[in-house]
Amino acid sequence: MSRRPANLRIALAWAVVILVGLFVLVPLAIMVLMSFSTSEFIRFPPPGYSLRWFSNFFARADWTEAALRSIRIGAIVTAAAVGLGVPAALALAAMSRRAANALAAALTLPILMPPVVVALAMYMSFTRYGIAGSELAIVLGHLCLALPFVVLTTLAALRGLDPDLVRAARASGAGRIRVLRTVTLPLAAPGIFSGAVLAFLTSFDELLIALFVGSSTTRTLPRRMWEGIRSEFDPTVAAASTVLVAGTLVLGILVLVLRHARASRTA
């Protein structure tokens, strides 16, 4: 009698997982199918399939320039987030747990607040200093959202390190800088890389800040997609979305592989 309730719970759990998976994946699947459509407009199901809209995406300067600008801004934001976030995480790791948690919670406020509030605040601030509409404004806005991811993932990696390794290195005569360079940072590298990937994806996928503080001459790929939906509404937008999803999946898989490698190394 006890096996039936257990089997029922397992079946219900699988049913919930499948329903949630369908709810998340079906819209993406529809979008991918529409990116291969032969229709002049976005419609489902597609009347036929071709690579026409991918060719259009890579052939048109407005799309490729927006994509390259998003990649460039994402790379700058990632470098800045790592350069600022790793030292911040090291400082937090050296503090008491209560103080570090309080400061880490304060750092997460930009990603916990409604995005439109953050974007509006940045627009008002950047307009005051005369940089609204420039790439610098977009970089600073994206950095505000990306930096917490680097700090949090690096801090988690640092807290997961075996303190005996650091003590052994110090006992062997290594100084603080050498211990940091040869022990701490290499062991925390998977967490740092995970934060860097999240920072890049946060910048690359962000729309509201690009709308508020960007301009028509500094449009990013998400902003170009938003404009395409409003004005053109052809499947080029779906092709751009498919490219975006594919890139995100590749980076996400890299993060999972690194986490698995870190877990294996720790074990």
Domain with residue 92: its CATH number is 1.10.3720.10
Q: How many domains would you assign to the chain?
A: 1
In this predicted structure, what is the pLDDT of residue 147? 92
Query: Three-state SS string across 234-265, please?
Result: CCHHHHHHHHHHHHHHHHHHHHHHHHHHHHHH
Residue 30 is assigned to a structural domain of this protein: no
Mean pLDDT (whole number) for 253-264: 71
Residue 37 is assigned to a structural domain of this protein: no
In this predicted structure, what is the pLDDT of residue 193? 86
Give the domain range for residue 80.
Answer: 60-266
Residue 38 is assigned to a structural domain of this protein: no
CA-nearest of 80, 195, 90 to 142 is 80
**pLDDT, tens only, 32-75:** 888 888 777 777 777 888 888 888 888 888 888 988 999 999 99
Residue 100 is assigned to a structural domain of this protein: yes
In this predicted structure, what is the pLDDT of residue 1? 46
In this predicted structure, what is the pLDDT of residue 200? 92
**pLDDT, tens only, 80-138:** 999 999 999 888 888 888 888 888 888 888 888 888 888 888 889 888 888 888 899 99
Rounded to two decimals, the pTM is 0.82
Residue 193 is assigned to a structural domain of this protein: yes
Residue 53 is assigned to a structural domain of this protein: no
Q: What percent of the chain has pLDDT over 90?
A: 14
Structure tokens belonging to residue 127? 């307009």
Residue 25 is assigned to a structural domain of this protein: no
Residue 24 is assigned to a structural domain of this protein: no
